[in-house]
Amino acid sequence: MRPVYHHRRAPARKAAADRELARALARAIAAARAAGSILMRHWHARDFSIGSKGHNGPVTSADLEADRAIAANLRDAFPNYGWLSEETEDDRTRLQCSRVWIVDPLDGTKEFISGVPEFSIAIALAEDHEPVLGVTYNPVRREMFWAARGFGCHLNRRRVRVSRTRTLRRATVLASRSETARGEWQVFHGQLRVSPTGSVAYKLAMVAAGMGDATFTRLPKNEWDIAAGAALILEAGGCVTDLEGEPVRLNQPSVRLPGLIASNRLLYPKLARLARARPRGVVQLHRSDST
């Protein structure tokens, strides 16, 4: 006979894990709001300095200040969690951690600099390499997207899900503004509706909330670009993979992923075939990051 204590301990472990995840979610939302206040102050004052990380990658003083605020909210509260942020030097001790915060304090820096209200703060939690929590916040539009495993996906106070669009011709695909400006989406004219949108994290959050049907890119992306959005989309009933169709695996030694495909599950098979195809006449994609 199976010991009775097995039945008693399993629910207790799950309840404890749920409480820990709920605490992490509350902290992540608070951290996103704190970072959002910083970004909005600089957004209105236009008082930030601009530097460069090379490869067409600008960084502002606002990025760095927001990163410090997020770290202050999360790292002391969860001392056993690892840390990976675009704006913090990677010491790789995270690779020994089961749970790891993955942060982009300002995704869509080009939009932020240009005055386009399509940048976001992205905070994710990975557990054993899987995205289990995601918070993406657009402070200009006051859109707080949040999700955690088993808690559902929400936009502010409303529960949301991915769209149910089935056909490519009716699908609205959120595309990189940079790639669109370079003409790299012209090849898909007549096959789907393309909507240029800034910030990878923001595009993924919009797909999770059904505000767009899909997004994809053939360019490599970093974990901090996509981790929060992956958690949102999975909890919203959608599908997100790298360009090769592999599930998103986080907290890896190399933080680069080979492209991205995200949509609802009805659209995904057709979208994946289109995203991976190399139609005649398609321009060679640039290797720099895009939004």
Q: What would the 3-class secondary structure string for 43-103 be?
A: HHHCCCCEEECCCCCEEEHHHHHHHHHHHHHHCCCCCCCEEEECCCCCCCHHHHCCEEEEE
Give the span between the Cα atoms of 114 and 49, in whole angstroms: 13
In 3D space, the residue among 281, 285, 266 whose CA is nearest the CA of residue 188 turns out to be 281
In terms of DSSP bridges, do strands 214-217 and 260-264 run parallel, antiparallel, or are they unpaired? antiparallel
Q: What is the pTM of this model?
A: 0.90
pLDDT attached to residue 17: 75
Tell me the average confidence (pLDDT) per consecutive run of 10 residues in the chain, 291 residues long.
37 77 97 98 95 83 97 96 96 96 97 96 98 98 97 97 95 89 82 92 98 93 97 98 94 95 97 77 40 66
Neighbour-count burial for 94-119, b at 16+ CB within 10 Å, e otherwise: beebebbbbbbbbbbbbbbbeebebb
pLDDT attached to residue 69: 98
According to DSSP, the residues that pair with 104 across neighbouring strands are: 122
Alpha-carbon distances of 200 from 18, 76, 100, 244, rounded to whole Å:
28, 28, 20, 18
Q: In what order do the strands lie in the sheet with 172-176?
A: 193-197, 172-176, 214-217, 260-264, 238-241
pLDDT attached to residue 2: 35
> How many angstroms from the chain centroid is the CA of residue 82?
18
Q: What does the H/E/C string look like for 10-51?
A: HHHHHHHHHHHHHHHHHHHHHHHHHHHHHHHHHHHHCCCCEE
pLDDT attached to residue 189: 80
Q: Do residues 155 and 204 make contact, with C-beta atoms less than 8 angstroms apart?
A: no
Give the span between the Cα atoms of 45 and 54, in whole angstroms: 26
Phi/psi for 290 (5° steps) reads -135, 170
Please name each of the domains of the chain with its CATH number: 4-155 (3.30.540.10), 168-276 (3.40.190.80)
pLDDT attached to residue 54: 67
pLDDT attached to residue 11: 66
Give the span between the Cα atoms of 258 and 46, in whole angstroms: 35
In terms of DSSP bridges, do strands 260-264 and 130-138 run parallel, antiparallel, or are they unpaired? unpaired
